[in-house]
Structure 1
Amino acid sequence: MSTELSGSTALVTGATSGIGRATAFSLAALGADVVLSGRNEERGRQAVKEIRAAGGSALFIASDLGDEASARGLARQATEQAGPVDILVNNAGIFPFGPTDRTTGEDFDEVFAVNVKAPYFLVAELAPAMAARGRGAIVNVTTMVAGLGMDGMSLYGASKAALVLLTKSWAAEYGPRGVRVNAVSPGPTRTEGTAVMGDALDNLAAAGPAQRTGTPEEIAAAITYLATDRASFVHGAVLAADGGRTAV
């Protein structure tokens, strides 16, 4: 096991499956003490068990990240249980697809609460302490549809476009004090969550140079890079890990 991130504490949201789970394993493999957060306690505890079995350090905190209070509460619990958070990965998100005219106010509020409000207040709670220590890394997980108009993805894309702007704003705000803020923009990735897309996922992927879907581990590798000092000169960037889908 690498010691590259030894002595660092990482908080990964949406860490019970898919990209978040793969990221938690990747950071733990580099020596970070990882706090996994998510809604499914059974899957969260299983992930912690597997990380520990592999020689890593991890704990799980259940949170639905549906409002400001839950975001701030998670940040405080993580700090109390694992120590000051050095790496924050804002991965938790929901992605309902469908026509704009069938979107309800409740749908709109829920998507923006999880995809925008939760990252916003996690950063509000954790970034000042990182800045006071003079170091830290925040990685936001966005999506290629944050900058690519696609039928049925208006609400999801808009919420992630907000996160892209926040990434740049936070880089300007906290970068001068040692906190790097960046984002990873995944393309079509095969996870438990995207399984419902069926052939549509493969069709999206086929239009890119890679001509295949990505894996959670491939996205996690991009996130992990931005979380380490290997990316020490990278601030406010949005790293596309999409098989080249947005390049053509």
Structure 2
Amino acid sequence: MPELEGKKVLITGAGALGGLGADTAQLFAQEGAEVLVTGRHAKRGQQVVESIAAAGGTARFLLADLRDLDDVAQLADEAGEVDVLVNNAAGYNVESTLKLTADDYSLMYETIVRAPFFLVQKLAPGMISRRSGSIVNVSSTAASVALPGGVSLYGSAKAALDSLTRYWAAEFAESNVRVNAVAVGPTSTDNITRTFSSLGPGMLEAMAASIPLGRWASPREIAQVLLFLASERSSFATGGVFPADGGKVAV
């Protein structure tokens, strides 16, 4: 039996092919979920939905800009009751601290911290009332391992998300609602690959060499970890920040 049969899943930041969110949406749909795909661009989001439908899955696109609290509230209302929430959307910038702007700060924290907070506030009550649900936050190794270069805002925002993961797990445990995070290492999504390639020749290879497994992850490999935490296979796991980083934090 598919692992998410009969479950409704909302995945933020899933509205573009080649991204982690889209790969996660495709995998979850293959496992029987009704997937709600969100993003800021309707045409690209519809392409994700069409790819899921072509593979026999069920999906719907919900347009939302998670920097806008009205959009966040509308997204929660349109989604209705969900069994699984995957907070995947994120802003990203590789400028150094000295070059970052107030807009950069807002992008990171509004997308990575504020939007998940208010989505959980809206959607967790339904899970609590049913005494069943899983919230999975997509974090990063940058939350716990300081990296040279310009990821200070990104890393600190993901650290805040890790903290919320633990607090929510403690808060909702008595209602059998589980909350976990995945600390993702370098992953070959279109956006991240393009960003790091722009930093100079050999950057992708150098980052791969710093990982014990010696390579970047594919989006599907990370999606499999998210699936595990969304499914009943992880029924006794809550409050954890699970590394999926090829061994990066171990060395």
The TM-score normalised by the length of structure 2 is 0.94
Task: Give the superposed CA RMSD.
Answer: 1.1
Q: 1:241 aligns with which of 237, 240, 244?
A: 244
Give, in angstroms, the shift of residue 231 of structure 1.
0.3
Alpha-carbon distance between aligned partners in 1 of 2:158 and 2:231, rounded to the nearest angstrom: 23
Alpha-carbon distance between aligned partners in 2 of 1:190 and 1:202, rounded to the nearest angstrom: 12
- Counterpart residue type for residue 36 of structure 1: V
Q: CA deviation digits over 1:100-157, x for unaligned, max 9?
A: 1111112111210011100111101001110111000000001100001112111110
Aligned to 1:115: 112
Q: Is the 8 A contact 1:208 1:245 kept in 2?
A: yes
- Counterpart residue type for residue 238 of structure 2: H
How do 1:1-248 and structure 2 match up within 5 A? Answer: 2-17=1-16, 18-79=19-80, 84-151=81-148, 152-194=150-192, 195-198=194-197, 199-248=202-251
**SS of 1:35 mapped into structure 2:** strand
Q: CA deviation digits over 1:77-106, x for unaligned, max 9?
A: 111xxxx20000000001101111111112
Q: How many residues align?
A: 243
Alpha-carbon distance between aligned partners in 2 of 1:12 and 1:100, rounded to the nearest angstrom: 30
Distance 1:128 1:235, change over 3 A: same
Q: Is the 8 A contact 1:131 1:179 kept in 2?
A: yes
Give, in angstroms, the shift of residue 3 of structure 1.
2.9
Q: CA deviation digits over 1:171-214, x for unaligned, max 9?
A: 00112101100011110111111122014333222111110011
User: Gaps (5+ residues) in structure 2?
Assistant: none
Q: Is the 8 A contact 1:27 1:34 kept in 2?
A: yes
Alpha-carbon distance between aligned partners in 2 of 1:222 and 1:52, rounded to the nearest angstrom: 23
Alpha-carbon distance between aligned partners in 2 of 1:55 and 1:212, rounded to the nearest angstrom: 32
Alpha-carbon distance between aligned partners in 1 of 2:218 and 2:123, rounded to the nearest angstrom: 29
Give, in angstroms, the shift of residue 64 of structure 1.
1.3
- Counterpart residue type for residue 163 of structure 1: L
Alpha-carbon distance between aligned partners in 2 of 1:206 and 1:245, rounded to the nearest angstrom: 10
- Counterpart residue type for residue 16 of structure 1: G
- Counterpart residue type for residue 207 of structure 1: S
**SS of 1:197 mapped into structure 2:** helix
- Counterpart residue type for residue 54 of structure 1: A
**SS of 1:142 mapped into structure 2:** strand
**SS of 2:10 mapped into structure 1:** strand
- Counterpart residue type for residue 168 of structure 1: R
**Moved beyond 6 Å, runs of 4+:** none
- Counterpart residue type for residue 42 of structure 2: E
The TM-score normalised by the length of structure 1 is 0.95
Q: Is the 8 A contact 1:67 1:117 kept in 2?
A: no
**SS of 2:134 mapped into structure 1:** strand
Alpha-carbon distance between aligned partners in 1 of 2:68 and 2:204, rounded to the nearest angstrom: 30
**SS of 2:13 mapped into structure 1:** coil
